Amino acid sequence: MKLSPLGWGIAAGLAAMALLAPIAGNALGDISAARSERTKLAAAVAAPETNRTVMVVQGQALPEPAALALRIRELARNGGVLVEEASPPSGTSLIAIRFRISGPEKAVIALADALERETPLVRLRGWKLVAIEGGVRLTGEAVAVRK
- Provide the β-strand partners of residue 123: 143
What are the pLDDT digits (tens) for 112-139? 999 888 888 888 888 899 999 989 999 9
Say whether pLDDT at 43 is over 90: no
What DSSP character marks residue 59?
A: T
pLDDT of residue 136: 94
What are the pLDDT digits (tens) for 55-67? 556 666 666 777 7
Per-chain mean pLDDT for the chain: 82
Domain extents in the chain: 1-47, 65-145
pTM, to two decimals? 0.46
pLDDT of residue 89: 63
Query: What's the topology of domain 65-145?
Result: Alpha-Beta Plaits (3.30.70)
Give the integer Cα–Cα distance in Å for 105 and 76.
Answer: 12
48-86 core/surface letters (b: 16 or more CB in 10 A; e: else): eeeeeeeeeeeeebbeebebbbebbeebbeebebebeeb
Give the integer Cα–Cα distance in Å for 79 and 47.
Answer: 42
